[in-house]
Amino acid sequence: MSHLVTLPLLRRRQLLAGAASLSALALAGCATSTPRPVVVTPPPVPFDVLAMYGPLPDEEFPVPAAPIAQLDPQYWRQEVDNITGEPAGTVVVDTPNRFLYWTMPDGRAMRYGVGIGRDGFAWGGRAHIAYKRKWPVWTPPSEMVDRQPELEVYRHGQPPGLNNALGARALYIHQGNRDTLYRLHGNMDIHSIGKAVSSGCVRLLFQDVIDLYDRVPSGSPIVVIQ
């Protein structure tokens, strides 16, 4: 009699144990199938790049460090192969790709990320750098003042400084003896680099336009590709 009672009890315990195991596996399966959030940490900015875009306290108006980690690395200043087809000593603005090249000997070029003019304000062609200025005064063209009346206060010139529209340096583009009214100039808004936002001029970060200014002699040819 005791044997007949024990056998069903054992089977019942085995069934309960099996059910518990299945429940545990089911719970485990649910837990492992739930996707976990992936946190992507951008790679650290290399030390040499941080140094390139560091503060410039000895400038007439001390320049703060650029928040370079916020900029796509392709727009960091870097030496590359000269793919422009232009000879050494030429400024080339690649408008579609938002790059500016200063071509150098031995098939090399210094490449900078730039912001360019909005549609309708863009300019292209061949010209030359007529002259350069450190911490220039900005005088907006009359037609710009007419479009943007808030600029009236600067009709006769905006004093130099960090907030000046031309920034730390400006290189002035002429065709023959005619001023095109377009400039290569400095800009502190890192989010404008790689974008089409300005009224025709080509803008570089302060650290980059200072570097470019020191490399490019007045009279250098410039090609702006549309």
| pTM, to two decimals | 0.79
Residue with tokens 């054992």: 10
List the pLDDT tens digit at each of the 226 positions of the chain: 444 444 444 344 443 444 444 343 333 333 334 556 666 566 799 999 999 999 999 999 999 999 999 999 999 999 999 999 999 999 999 999 999 999 999 999 999 999 998 765 677 899 999 999 999 998 887 888 888 888 888 888 889 999 999 999 999 999 999 999 899 999 999 999 999 987 778 999 999 999 999 999 999 999 999 8
Q: How far apart are CA 145 and CA 149, in angstroms?
A: 5
Nearest to 111 by CA among 96, 127, 120, 100: 100
Q: Is 166 exposed, middle or buried (0-12, 13-18, 19+ CB in 10 A)?
A: buried
Q: How far apart are CA 50 and CA 89, in angstroms?
A: 27
Please state, in angstroms and as integers, the Cα–Cα distance from residue 179 to each residue in 84, 129, 185, 212, following that order. 25, 10, 15, 20
DSSP category for residue 154: G
Q: Which two tokens stand for residue 79?
A: 């030496």
Strand (E) positions, 98-201?
99-104, 108-113, 116-117, 125-134, 169-175, 178-187, 196-198
DSSP state of 200: S
What does the alpha-carbon distance between residue 142 and residue 154 come to, in Å, rounded to a whole number? Answer: 10
